[in-house]
Amino acid sequence: MAMTLTIVKPDAVAAGNAGNILAMLEKKGFTIRGLRMLRLSEDQARAFYEVHKERPFYGDLVKFMTSGPVVPAALEHDNAVPFLREVMGATNSAEAAEGTVRALYGTNIERNAIHGSDSAENAAIELAFFFSRSELIAGR
């Protein structure tokens, strides 16, 4: 089993869809190994999205991710990273396949309801950003 990180973003939390999204992920076979709700500080958001700091959308992304509570979750599944990306759908909600998280709960390319790690290496880094090793519940 592999692990990855997801974050239910402020738009989905504000709309009352965090539970729906987490339930959808569980129905797809993910096991939640860590979960919390928090509001990112500007410093935390800048650090988490530092990989994008040279991109024109970085400031708006930081502002959006600090606009309300988020729900980071550690997820376990075979092929966790690519499978989560499939379940999430395209970054632009308007282009996301029917039945994906972003098609159901996102509204546009920025307010797309959910974040997911893009590689196993980044999943390890991102999981450690939100959860200590001792906070992650051991597998079955």
* Angstrom distance (rounded) from CA 119 to CA 35: 20
Active site residue 115: yes
Residue 98, helix vs strand vs coil: coil
Residue carrying structure tokens 């309300």: 68
The H or E element spanning position 130 is: helix 120-130
Residue 103, helix vs strand vs coil: helix
Both tokens assigned to 74: 């550690």
The catalytic residue among 9, 77, 111, 115 is 115
CB 66 within 8 A of CB 38: no
* Angstrom distance (rounded) from CA 125 to CA 77: 18
Active site residues: 115
